[in-house]
Amino acid sequence: MNLVECKDVCKSYGNKQVLDHVTFTIEPGKIIGLLGPNGSGKSTIIKMINQLLTPDSGEILVNDKPLGIESKKVISYLPERSYLNFNVKVIELMDFFEDFYEDFDRKTAESLIEKLKINPKDKLKTMSKGTKEKVQLIMVMSRKADLYILDEPIGGVDPAARDYILTTILSNFNEGASILISTHLIADVEKILDEVIFISEGKVLLQQSADELRNEKQQSIDGVFREVFKC
């Protein structure tokens, strides 16, 4: 059974069609890159899976069921723009996640926070942008979810922070779960990807195993992406 099935999904804003019969699947246990230029429809797809937008037509299934309360329980979402109140302390943030999400593993979060040498009593507003991003990622990855959706998880942080974030993603996601990563920094993330989905102007161009695509094209995913999208 597929974890996520996106079938013929369309979405328009006024006269502009942003998703055009989008179809793809996500199997359990995969790390998948949702890759495309700005304005290609990546964020719209992500918002739909998270029920922040609704399709005009088509359907999205999670664990073979239409989107609803049950699917919200099994998806852990890191948005591109932070939704956190920066006036709260890290310990208060952990309290919130523990109260709100049944699958939040506080011990995991506390361990990761401690490894970063962050004082749990510090407020988020006192931290650098990179540290804020790390804290938010820790909260998201400390849930025992079926699907982790990460929208630009390494955007706007320095290379050292990127390495930390990728390591955290790899070492903490729930066994048997899947991760959907939307990013434009393909060279940084391609080493962890099992599959890629290329999307352009609201259409899926391909969904393929990362290794198969590299072997077929005899170049990196980043190289294939630049060739396809003429970057």
The predicted structure's pLDDT at residue 84: 80
pLDDT digits (tens, 9 = 90+) for 156-183: 677 877 887 788 888 877 778 999 999 8
Q: Which helix (H) or strand (E) holds 112?
A: helix 106-115
pLDDT digits (tens, 9 = 90+) for 175-215: 789 999 998 889 889 999 999 999 999 999 999 999 999 99
Nearest to 189 by CA among 229, 153, 228: 153
Q: Is 0.85 topped by the overall pTM? A: yes
Residue 38: count other Cβ atoms within 10 Å of its Cβ. Answer: 7
Instruction: Tell the burial category of 130 from Cβ atoms under 10 Å away from its Cβ (0-12, 13-18, 19+).
Output: middle
Cα 181 to Cα 13, 31, 87, 207, distances in angstroms: 24, 8, 28, 14
- Answer for the pair 51, 79: CB distance below 8 angstroms, yes or no: no
What domains are there in the chain, each with its CATH number?
A: 4-229 (3.40.50.300)
Task: Report helix, strand and coil shares of the chain as percent, to nearest 5.
Answer: 40, 30, 35
